[in-house]
Structure 1
Amino acid sequence: MTWRPRLIALDIDGTLTPVGSNDMAPAVKAAIARAADHSTHVVLCTGRSLIGTTPIAAQLPVKRTLCSNGAVWWDPIANEVTKRTTFDPGPTIKALQALLTDVVFAVEQTGVGNLSLGSFLPGDLWGVTSEVTFEEMAATPTPRLVMRWLDHTPAELSFAVRELELPGVEWSVDHTEAWLTAVPADISKGAELDELAAQLGVPPEDALAIGDGANDVEMLRWAGLGVAMGQAPEHVKAAADEVAPTVLEDGAAVVLNRYFP
């Protein structure tokens, strides 16, 4: 019998859309719709906050969404947050400030936007952003903290934090911007998908995951078939079972069309 995934976990930025965009190619939307028509569980699994995820979910037949690298579970049908895991951001901010200068921070206010410490670049953050003091930010438990290192490259940030230890959080560095994301300890796309799949009665070997970033590595390793996008960094490709064409070549659709023609 030919294998077909019973659960499909999809990253957004760099997988379904160009980074930071809400525009999906028609071929990608059509391929996801065909998969959903086969009673396959389609799950958006993204580093985006909830408010950044909603414009994508609105375009797709998805019933389950893991936002903020899995720290926020959202049911698009009921428009309800079903699980939210938080941490206290103060110690993480202090550790990063001690290592780097010219950094700005934001913590997610789920469904609203962000509190920021310093000014981000236009288009960096989803939703309403309010600037606050360190004390105000440190007193706000959050599912997701982001940091941008202004006027630096992703490679410079990766090198600067190569020996960094941030107790109490899971963190990753973006490969397209000098941007670090931190979420609560033991939260990752892979761990949260494992919990969700168990609830749905789907074993990992029946799951397909597609992603392109460092925060997708656990998800790609967890799934029975983990697929990295063609433009992904080499360490992400190494964690995958295969490599698809790039996002600009509708790589996610190419993979899904194999199982849902």
Structure 2
Amino acid sequence: MKFSKVLLASDYDGTLYDENGVITPSVREAIAYFIANGGRFTVCTGRTQHGFHAYDGSYINAPVLLSNGAMAYDYATDEVIFERSLGEEIIEVIEAVRKKFPDTSVELFPHEGGYIIHDSETSQRHFEILKMPVKVIEKADASMLPWVKVMLYSPEQSLEIQAFLSEEYPWVKYIPATGCYVEVLQQGVDKGFGLFQLADALGIDHKDCYAVGDGENDVHMLKAAAIGFAPENGSDMAKQAADRIVRPNTDGTVAHVIEILDELYQ
């Protein structure tokens, strides 16, 4: 089959679904065609294992990449394929950020539920959107460990927090995320890392890995992929990182990608 041993990973929010939050019939048909011809299709999202509620075996036939590449989880078999978590080493960093930027809300994501330090309306709403239980705590060491990721929210100081982390904790991996968040991950982890880890687990050559995404947190994945695709209405950073610009998510981004792959794999 033409797409045997081919992996296509798509960002979820703003890429796979349209402006109404729907995966359109045309996109579903394109993915079904890709899968029927041997392809492996998955989603790569910043959401965590218990914050991603869109798994559907009819259009996802590979483990889902979660927490911006920190974990791959197979919802079909209830199996963790790989995981790169944060531990006690990051507590010092959190406390330093809180001391320097006391208005910062800190969101902690262990395997079950979530925690907030310095509660805010935005953080509460974030966990409501994710449909995850959350507990407000005073210090990071009151949370369960490990964490798959940590999110820092202080919209007016986001750039300053990033500069502080770069200067004082150069070993800390962070990425700017949607909504002025700063997301802290295990060193070396990003969506590009996750893409290749999953490919290795599936026995797929890196030259047959493709990715599509619209956001800043997709940049590493787009650069890592054999061909990185970004929708016309994606962020400037995503479009600069991509090899090809495709139709916007309002007009079947992922379907357009599969059309291109269909021509590539004759």
Q: TM-score, normalised by structure 2?
A: 0.82
Residues 20-169 of structure 1 correspond to what in structure 2 (within 5 A)? 23-57=22-56, 60-88=59-87, 89-110=90-111, 112-117=112-117, 118-121=119-122, 122-125=124-127, 126=130, 127-137=132-142, 140-149=145-154, 152=156, 157-158=158-159, 161-162=162-163, 164-165=165-166, 166-169=169-172
The 3-state SS of whatever aligns with 1:93 is: helix
Closer, same or farther in 2 for the Cα pair 1:163/1:115, shift >3 Å? closer
Question: Which residue of the partner structure matches residue 13 of structure 1?
Answer: 13
Give the Cα separation in 1 of the matches to 2:245 and 2:4.
18
Q: Pairwise mapping of residues 223-238 of structure 1 onto structure 2 (< 5 A)?
A: 223-238=225-240
Task: Quote the offset at 1:99 in angstroms.
Answer: 4.2
Question: Does structure 2 retain, via aligned residues, the 8 Å contact 1:33–1:61?
Answer: no
Q: Is the 8 A contact 1:231 1:246 kept in 2?
A: yes
Unaligned runs of 5+ in 1: none
Over the matched positions of the two proteins, sequence identity in percent amounts to 24
**Unpaired runs of at least 5, structure 2:** none
Task: Report deviation, 1:128.
Answer: 0.9
Alignment CA distance shift 1:14-1:96 (3 Å)? farther
Instruction: Report the 3-state secondary structure (helix = DSSP H, G, I; strand = E; otherwise coil) of the residue aligned with 2:34.
Output: helix
1:36-77 Cα shifts (integer Å, max 9, x gaps): 111111122111111222324456332211111121220121
Provide the secondary structure at the position in 1 that maps to 2:148: coil
| Counterpart amino acid of residue 15 in structure 1 | T
What is the identity, as a one-letter code, of the residue corresponding to 2:16?
L
Q: TM (normalized to structure 1)?
A: 0.84
Count of residue correspondences: 253
Amino acid at match of 2:59: L
Identify if the C-alpha distance between structure 1 residues 95 and 242 changes in structure 2 by more than 3 Å, giving closer, same or farther: farther
Do 1:170 and 1:183's aligned partners in 2 also have CA atoms closer than 8 Å?
yes
For the 8 Å contact 2:8–2:209, the answer to whether it is kept is yes
Q: Give me the CA root mean square deviation.
A: 2.8
Equivalent-residue separation in structure 1 for 2:142 and 2:216 (angstroms): 26
**Structure 2 SS opposite 1:216:** helix
